[in-house]
Structure 1
Amino acid sequence: MSDRTTAACGSGPPRRRAAGPYAPGRLPWASSLALAAVQLVGSHFAAHGQAGTRVPLDPFALLLLVAGPALLVARHRRPRLAAFGTAAVALVYLGAGYPYGPVFLSVVAGCFAAVVTGHRHAAQAALAMLWTGHLLVGHWLYRRLPPPGDPPSDWGRDLFIAAWMVAALAVSELVRIRREQRAREEAEREAAERRRAGEERLRIARELHDVLAHSISVINVQAGVGLALLDSDPEQARTALTSIKTTSKEALGEVRQLLDTLRAPGDAPRAPAPGLDRLPELAEQAARAGLRVETRTEGTPVALPPGADLAAFRIVQEALTNVVRHSGARLARVRLRYGPGELEIRVDDDGPATGNGPTGGGNGLVGMRERAAALGGTVEAGPRGDGGFRVLARLPLRSGRTGAADEPDGEAP
């Protein structure tokens, strides 16, 4: 099978979700080093612009400018530590009187990582701690902290800092929501793929069962006839062997067509799927197994969608197979009744049951019910009061499920 078919059938290895930029196992060394370089270079320019009003940069200031990005290395694994740590470093930097500048970038990055990984309260608390500390330093402790003679902080600047904090939280929240939406959509796609794979396996099993069970039942009966008549009636035994050859060839053709469709799922089927127009072939195959089939049509026949036509054919095929395998009847009656918006299929035999297999819960009956249910229809099967057996299926001419009755024409399950 092709890789695509293998994946559709669910037998291939599960796909692993690609590690995103906030995967816990990755350490963001490159971005942290880049941010450290920006803070160092940007703070030197800010120091020149604020010379005389703020404390010049010294080794301790450089250490603080590097400490923030160093904490960001752990922001994927410890987002709360990164948020509170960068906020604390920035607060110490501002409290020491060093120039305003890109030291806040580490805080933004740390709080952003906390929000997008689901720790929004930690990010909010870290920013609240930073802003509260800045207010205390700028309006109460400024006389005791460097630089000497520093005036109280400007409220306009304090409000500006509060505004960018709120903006940073808002942007982080938008990114978090978008990431959750993408994760949810991907999970839904994967669930849909798993569901389609399960349905695909079920349909493949159902198709193979319907094709093989009918043909093998006919072959089994003919083989028994051939063995019984091999000595007493060689000509009749020859006829039975010819029937076995014909039936097995037809079964191989259907199986090959199904497998060809699986190997090339993107190609159109090479032959149309069987439908009710092939009922005479079913009757002929059943006749080879010693079962005479009478068919009757009531109402005005209408063209069925490919999916419904295939389901109707398979239901009749499986019902006749059950008669051959589990009943001693030599006559089966098939009635098709086209009503308003519904096709009713009834298959009767007069019995008696031979006890060679289940009469009400085998895979064949399960498959019939599944086919009908996929189209919004029903199947009832069970013994009649007179000792016979009846299969009664009702299929809507327009499926109750979107697209169910309009399967592409072909043997693809």
Structure 2
Amino acid sequence: MDVTPGQELSAKGRNKGSRTLVPGRPWPAVRTGLAWSGAVLFPAVTYVTFSDGQQGFDLLMVLASLVLAAVVASLLRRRPLPALTLLLLGGVTATMEMRTSEVSYLQVFAGVCAVGYLAAARPRRTSVTAAVLAFTAQMGSLFGFPPDTGCLPGEYGMRNCSSSAWADDSGQSAVLVAVLLIAAWMAGSSARERRTHAEALRSQATARAVTAERLRIARELHDMIAHSIGVIAIQAGVGSRVIDTQPAEARNALATIEATSRETLAGLRRTLVALRRPESESEPGADGGTLDPPRDTSAPPPREPAPGLADVDRLAASARDAGVHAEIRRRGESGPLPADIDLAAFRILQEALTNVVRHAGTDTCRVTVERRDGELSLEIEDDGRGGLPAGTGFGLVGMRERVALLHGRFTAGPRPEGGFRVTALLPLPPVEAR
């Protein structure tokens, strides 16, 4: 296939990435070269502008000086010290050709603004060097090309000015310039420190948010999977022992394993869908997270409500299938709970029952759910071994974290009369706020 010169150029541009020719947009190197060429011409153009300005300013030359000054100022961000040197040199040439107070003020203003900007945008070492350069250039202009102050011309063109008066004025001007430069540097440095501090706070907030979300996902997965895997392991053991002697009991164990596995897979699917959905499409979930549909919104899967205290009987049935009879006691008023408290209460009961099934070594336990004025009380106690083996995992840690996030109180430990007790007290918002 024949390749035209235009196609060949396009292919080369694609291979070189950033060097691709785009109509109307020159290469960055060309733009940079033109900018520095204009910056180098700035002192000369300024000299000519103010030299001719003694008989009247030329509008075109003034515009050229302003444009080139803007170009030099734009280069302060990339090459601060060379650009500042050219800017100060332009101010010195202007002062040299037109010795008026207005031109001196203009030079001081430009230097002060440049130092303040560099103090805010660049490291301290660069900004201090810039301040020293600006002060040196302005002192050179002040003492080398002092502005006219109304002194009468003397013989041979010399000025009949009192040396002491000129020295006093120059000394005051030098102090004023130093104060202005120091003030500009301090203001810029303070702005830079505030920006750096704000960026550090944002980074810390992001890190804390990531950590909190990671812990939330870990708690959710642990509470959801640990309970199911515990039930599956126990039922698998029962089935394997009675498969030859009690086929019906083995079938019941397999049915329980199947139902528990399907429930766990559904929970995992909900969690993974929530994690894969874009943040912009997220909706608040019950545990501070999100319950989200998949990216393909053309056929979203049906959403299942987050579990809550209404599903406690299901937990008791699951524990019963695992060989532990859980006696459920409900006290106090009934009614809907805030979503985050409802989910946290369910997960705490689920993990506590899982620990009873796996570690207590007993076939009974008591679950008390009591709703008092402004507080939800959860208590799970058993008459088993009265403790947890060392290194059993993150169940108690996860429960304690859930309660702490809701500003509640959590206790867990052996009972004096034997067994183990888990207690969680979750504060409830006022009725009018729900």
Query: What is the TM-score when the length of structure 2 is the normalising length?
Result: 0.67
The residue that corresponds to 1:136 in the other structure is 143
**Contact 1:226–1:240 under 8 Å retained in 2:** yes
1:297 aligns with 2:301: no
**Aligned pair 1:149/2:149, yes or no?**
no
Bigger shift: 113-122 or 372-381? 113-122
Q: Tell which deviates more after alignment, 259-268 or 336-345.
A: 259-268
Give the whole-Å Cα distance in 1 for the aligned partners of 2:266 and 2:311: 15
Which of 242, 247, 252 matches 1:239?
Answer: 252
Number of the residue aligned with 1:8 = none
Code of the aligned partner of 2:328: T
Say how many residue pairs are matched: 349
CA distance in 2, matches of 1:108, 1:254: 63
- 1:358 aligns to 2:366 (yes or no): no
**Which position in structure 1 is the counterpart of 2:11?**
none
1:389-400 equivalent positions in 2, closer than 5 A: 389-398=420-429
Aligned to 2:226: 213
Give runs of aligned pairs for residues 11-160 of structure 1, distance below 5 A.
32-50=36-54, 79=81, 97-99=96-98, 104=107, 107=111, 111-116=115-120, 117=122, 118=124, 125-137=132-144, 149=157, 151=159
Local SS of the residue matching 1:212: helix
SS at match of 1:346: strand
1:6 match: none
Q: 1:227 to 1:75 in 2, by over 3 A?
A: closer
Show structure 1 runs of 5+ residues with no match. 1-26, 52-65, 143-147, 400-404, 407-413
State how far apart, in whole Å, the 1-side matches of 2:194 and 2:240 are. 67
Structure with greater contact order relative to length (CA < 8 Å, sep ≥ 6): 1
Stretch moving more, 98-107 or 377-386: 98-107
Match of 1:24 in 2: none
Query: Taking structure 1 as reference, are residues 273 and 261 closer, same or farther at Cα in structure 2, changes over 3 Å only?
Result: same
Q: Structure 1 vs Structure 2: percent identity of aligned residues?
A: 38
Residue of structure 2 in register with 1:382 after alignment: 413
Which residue number in structure 2 is paired with residue 201 of structure 1? 214
Could you tell me which residue of structure 2 aligns to residue 21 of structure 1? Answer: none
Q: What is the Cα deviation at residue 128 of structure 1?
A: 4.4
Q: Secondary structure at the match of 2:417?
A: coil
Of 362, 367, 383 in structure 2, the residue corresponding to residue 334 of structure 1 is 367
Counterpart of 2:238, as a letter, is: V
Match of 2:201 in 1: 188
Residue 251 in 1 paired to residue 270 in 2? no
The CA deviation string for residues 113-161 of structure 1, in whole angstroms up to 9 with x for no partner, is 5433346665555554445444433569x9xxxxx72547998x98999
Distance 1:246 1:161 in 2: 87
Q: Distance in 2 between matches of 1:127 and 1:151?
A: 28
Task: Compute the displacement of 1:235 (Å).
Answer: 0.8
Residues 46, 93 of structure 2: 8 Å contact kept: no
Contact kept in structure 2, 1:32 and 1:72, CA below 8 Å: no
Structure 1 pair 109–34 and aligned structure 2 pair: CA distance change class (3 A): farther
For residues 146 and 429 of structure 2, the distance between their equivalents in structure 1, rounded to whole angstroms, comes to: 77
Give secondary structure in 1 for the equivalent of 2:384. coil
Consecutive unaligned residues in structure 2, runs of 5 or more: 1-30, 56-67, 150-155, 284-290, 292-302
Q: Equivalents in 1 of 2:307, 2:207: separation in Å? A: 28
Q: Distance in 2 between matches of 1:345 and 1:246?
A: 27
User: 1:334, 1:345 within 8 Å by CA — same for their partners in 2?
Assistant: yes
Q: Which moved more, 1:270-279 or 1:130-139?
A: 130-139
Q: More helix per residue: 1 or 2? A: 2
Q: Quick check: 1:377–1:393 contact (8 Å CA) kept in 2?
A: yes
Q: Is 1:371 matched with 2:402?
A: yes
Q: Deviations over 1:287-344 (max 9, x none)?
A: 1111111111222234321111111100000000000000221111000122221111
* Cα-Cα RMSD: 4.3
Task: State which of 294, 299, 308 in structure 2 corresponds to 1:275.
Answer: 308
Number of the residue aligned with 1:344: 377
**Cα 1:292/1:199, change in 2 over 3 Å:** same
1:73-98 Cα shifts (integer Å, max 9, x gaps): 7886675x876x56985797589x54
Equivalent residue, structure 2, for 1:15: none
> Which secondary structure does the structure 2 equivalent of 1:231 belong to?
coil
Shift of 1:111: 2.9
* Counterpart-to-counterpart distance in 2, 1:70 and 1:239: 84
> Which secondary structure does the structure 1 equivalent of 2:157 belong to?
coil
Aligned-partner SS, 1:46: helix
Letter in 2 for 1:42: T
- Counterpart code for 2:333: T
Using structure 1 for the length normalisation, give the TM-score: 0.70
